[in-house]
Amino acid sequence: MRSDLRDMSRRQRTSPPGSGVALAFGFSAVSSIALTVVYGFGGQPQLEGLLLGIALGGLAVGLVRWAQDLMPGGGYVEQRDTEMGGPAQSAAAVRSFERGEQEVQRRSFLGKALAAALGALGLAALFPIRSLGSAPGTSLEVTPWAEGIRAVTIDGEPVRPEDLEIGGVLTVFPDGHLDAADAQTLLIHLPPGVYRPVASGREGWAPEDFVAFSKVCTHAGCPVGLYQPANRRLFCPCHQSIFDVLDAAAPIAGPATRPLPQLPLEIDADGFIAAGGDYSEPIGPGYWSRPRA
Ligand code: FES
């Protein structure tokens, strides 16, 4: 009975079965190609969203229609004939076989349409990779600081040792790079003789009792802006990390887990404070805790 109803339903259809599926996959493929073109010409978010919706929707509709119209419904029972079939039954069998052949050909076409829709959507999905930009390489591990680069104020003025009294702190930048957020540095004038190089090789990094540390907090990147000269501690206002300047700015409280990178200093031939090289390690939080090779 169900089989009869299904056959009747198929006969009543005006369009061949599978045409709706092909149409849906076709819409999907065309929308994906249009999405690629729109993106390639600069993009338009609303239009891209609409095209993506049509591309995905077309796939969904096509698959659902495929399941409804072309897949067997199951639950069929066919009575077995008690007599051998005559010529009429043989002819019906041939017609049935030919219908089956057409069915196979149609499914092959629909398979190709599905592949085209998926391929076009995959192509459209590949293009946004371009938006990721070029790979940063090692650019995030270095700053504009280098040996001989003078430390200057936010006004671009170079700094002499006598410009900063003992206990003073000054935010400085590498000369010519006032906009380099990764190079902002705290220049601190320590009392004579208190500097302790905590690692070998840092003995000469504090000429005339000046030390310098990255101002970028190693917890989440906030600017470490508060200095307490009485106990030589730096404070980050964001989450209250505290760094001990006399212990190479190691964290002694708060969520930061590694020291502020130290900048080696030197006094150049003209008497200005300059860098002796780049920071001791990459600045900032997280990933950058890995020391440079
Ligand atoms: S960013 Fe400095 S403590 Fe969180």
Q: In what order do the strands lie in the sheet with 210-214?
A: 151-152, 169-174, 185-189, 210-214
Q: Ligand 1 centre and the CA of 217: distance in Å? A: 6
**pLDDT interval class at 126 (50, 70, 90):** confident
Q: Which of 239, 194, 227, 218 is nearest to 281 (CA)?
A: 218
The answer, yes or no, to whether any atom of ligand 1 lies below 6 A from the CB of 239, is yes
CB-neighbour burial class of residue 202 (10 A; exposed 0-12, middle 13-18, buried 19+) = middle
The answer, yes or no, to whether any atom of ligand 1 lies below 6 A from the CB of 181, is no
Per-residue pLDDT tens digits for 8-24: 455 455 567 678 888 99
- Residue 20 has a pLDDT of 87
- Say if residue 122's pLDDT is above 70: yes
**pLDDT interval class at 270 (50, 70, 90):** very high
- Residue 290 has a pLDDT of 56
Determine which residue's CA is closest to atom 3 belonging to ligand 1: 239
d(CA 199, CA 206): 13
Fold (CATH) for 139-289: Rieske Iron-sulfur Protein (2.102.10)
**pLDDT interval class at 145 (50, 70, 90):** very high
Q: Which of 4-13, 164-173, 207-216, 251-260 has the lowest mean pLDDT?
A: 4-13
The answer, yes or no, to whether any atom of ligand 1 lies below 6 A from the CB of 241, is yes
Q: Which of 3-7, 105-109, 165-169, 175-179 has the lowest mean pLDDT?
A: 3-7
Q: Ligand 1 centre and the CA of 167: distance in Å? A: 23
- Residue 102 has a pLDDT of 60
The answer, yes or no, to whether any atom of ligand 1 lies below 6 A from the CB of 254, is yes
The single residue listed with the structure tokens 């990178």 is 261
- Say if residue 33's pLDDT is above 70: yes
- Residue 263 has a pLDDT of 97
Per-residue pLDDT tens digits for 161-206: 999 999 999 999 999 999 999 999 999 999 999 998 888 889 999 9
What mean pLDDT do residues 257-266 have? 95
**pLDDT interval class at 5 (50, 70, 90):** very low
Residue 168 contacts residue 189 (beta carbons within 8 Å): yes
The domains of the chain are located at 14-74+98-132, 139-289
> How many residues belong to the chain?
293
